[in-house]
A and B are shown apart, each in its own frame.
Chain A
C-alpha cells in the first residue's frame, strides 16, 4: 500500500556516479536559469536536455510516468491558459520551465540513494551545530521513518474503531484518538530515548566525558538503522557480496 522506496534504483549511469552536491547545484542553477531566461527556444532546449538527463538515469518507467503525469497536466493547463490569452511565447516558456525542472528533479531523485541524500542533508545542517548536534539529526530522521508506518497504523485503527461505533463521518471520533495515541507513542519513545541517554542535555553531556561518546554512538546506530535502509543495502549489495565472497574464499585458500 505504502511504497517508501521512491524512484531510486541502483544503476551505473553518469548521474548516479556524480556527487550529490553537484546534482543539487545543477538543480538549483537550472531552476534559476529557467526562471530568468524567458526565451522560448532556450526554454525548449533546456527542457530537452533535462528530459534526456532523466532518461539517462534509466528510471523505473511506471513511477516516473506517475511522477511526471501530474506536472504535465499542470503544464498543459498553464499553456492552454496562456494560449487563450494569446501569449504563445510565454506559453512555450512556462510549459518548458515547469517540465524541465520536474524532469531534472526526478533525474536527481532517481539517481541518488536515500542514504546519500540523507548524508547530504545532514552535511547541509552542519552549520546549525550550535542549535542541533549533527547526530541528533540522524536520530530524528531515522525515528521519523520509523514513525510513519506507526502513525499510519494508528490512523487506520482509529478509523476502524470509529466505524465500528458508527461514527466514521465524525472527524473528532477519528482524529482525537489518533492524535492522543500519537502523542502517547511519542512520549513513550521519548522516555526510551531518555533511558538510553540519547541526546539528553545535548552537547554538554558529550563534552563532559569522552567515554560516553562511543556508547551514544552505538545507541544511535541501533536506532539509526531503519528497515528501509537495510532493504536498500540488500538490493544494492547482494550482487557485490555474492560475487566477492567466492573470490575472497579462494584467496584465503591460497
Chain B
C-alpha cells in the first residue's frame, strides 16, 4: 500500500533511536566548550534529527519524544511531562516538532539536488538549513511564553535595561538563548554532514542504505537499488 511504503523496519528504528537520543541528550550532563561555556544538547539533537532523518521521520521522532515526555521525565532538567507541556515553556516543545519537520524537508531537498555528496558544500548548506529552525522554534515558543507569563511579545518604548517595559517575550525568551542556539545549529550541521558522508543515501531511498551497508544482497535490495 502506497502510504506505508516508507514504513520499513529501518525507518522505525531510526525514528525510535533518534527519539531516544533526544531524550538521552537531556539526561546526560552538558558538554563544556572552550572557555568553560556549557551547552545542553537538546536543541542539537532536535536539529540533528531533522537534518539526518528528513521530514516525516523527524516529525515522528520529535513527536514521539514529546509524547514520551508526558510519561517519562525526559524534558530538559528532568522535569515531569505534563507540567512542562502545559507550562510557560511548552510552546518550545511544539516549536521543536514544527522546526524539525521543516528542516527535514529542506535537507531532503538538498539531498535530492546532490548537495550532500559534495564535501565542502554539504556542511555549509546543512548549517544554512539548520538555521531556519531557530525562528520556527521561537515563532511558536515566544508567543506562548509571553501569553502565559502575561508579558508583551515585543518590548514597547524601552529606554533603559531596568525599565519595566523592557521585559517582554523577546528579551526573556529569545535573546539569552540565541547565541547558544546558533552555536548548536552550527555543530549539528557539521555533524550531520559527517553522518551523510558516512551513510550516504540516508535521506534518499530507505532501502539503499541497508543495501549499501550489508554485503548480502537479495533480489528486493537489488530492485530497490536500481530504482534508487
**A contacts, CB < 8 Å to B:** 2-4, 6-7, 27, 31, 63, 66-67, 70-71, 74, 78, 81-82, 84-85, 90, 94, 97-98, 101-102, 105-106, 108-109, 114, 117-118, 121, 130-133, 136, 139-141, 143-152, 155-156, 159, 168-172, 174-176, 179-180, 182-187, 189-194, 196, 198-204
Contact = CB atoms under 8 A, between A and B. Distances in A.
Interface string B5-33: 10111111111111111011101100111
Interface of B: 1, 3-5, 7-21, 23-25, 27-28, 31-34, 39, 41, 44, 48, 52, 60, 64-65, 67-68, 70-74, 77-83, 85-88, 148-151, 164, 167, 187, 190-192, 194-195, 198-199, 202, 209-210, 213-214
Q: Which 7 A-B pairs rank lowest in CB-CB distance, beginning with the nearest? A: A202-B4, A147-B20, A193-B9, A190-B10, A105-B82, A143-B16, A190-B13
Contacts of B4: 133, 201-204
Counting chain B CB atoms within 10 Å of each CB, the highest count among A97, A175, A176 belongs to A175
A171 B33 CA distance: 7
B71 A118 contact: yes
A150 B198 CA distance: 20
Counting chain B CB atoms within 10 Å of each CB, the highest count among A81, A141, A143, A171 belongs to A171
5 contacts: A114-B72, A117-B70, A169-B32, A179-B194, A189-B16
Contacts of A183: 14, 17, 52, 195, 198-199, 202
B147 to A, nearest CB: 8
A71 B83 contact: yes
Contacts of A82: 150
Given A152-B28, A169-B34, A146 B20 contact: yes
A160 to B, nearest CB: 12
B97 to A, nearest CB: 15
Contacts of B7: 132-133, 136, 199, 201-202
A198 B172 CA distance: 46
A191 B1 CA distance: 21
Contact of A121 (B10, B17, B70, B148): B70
Given A109-B82, A182-B21, A117 B71 contact: yes
B74 to A, nearest CB: 7
A171 B31 contact: yes
A199 B149 contact: no
Contacts of A203: 1, 4
Nearest to A159: B31
A90 B152 CA distance: 14
Contacts of A4: 72-73
Contacts of B214: 191
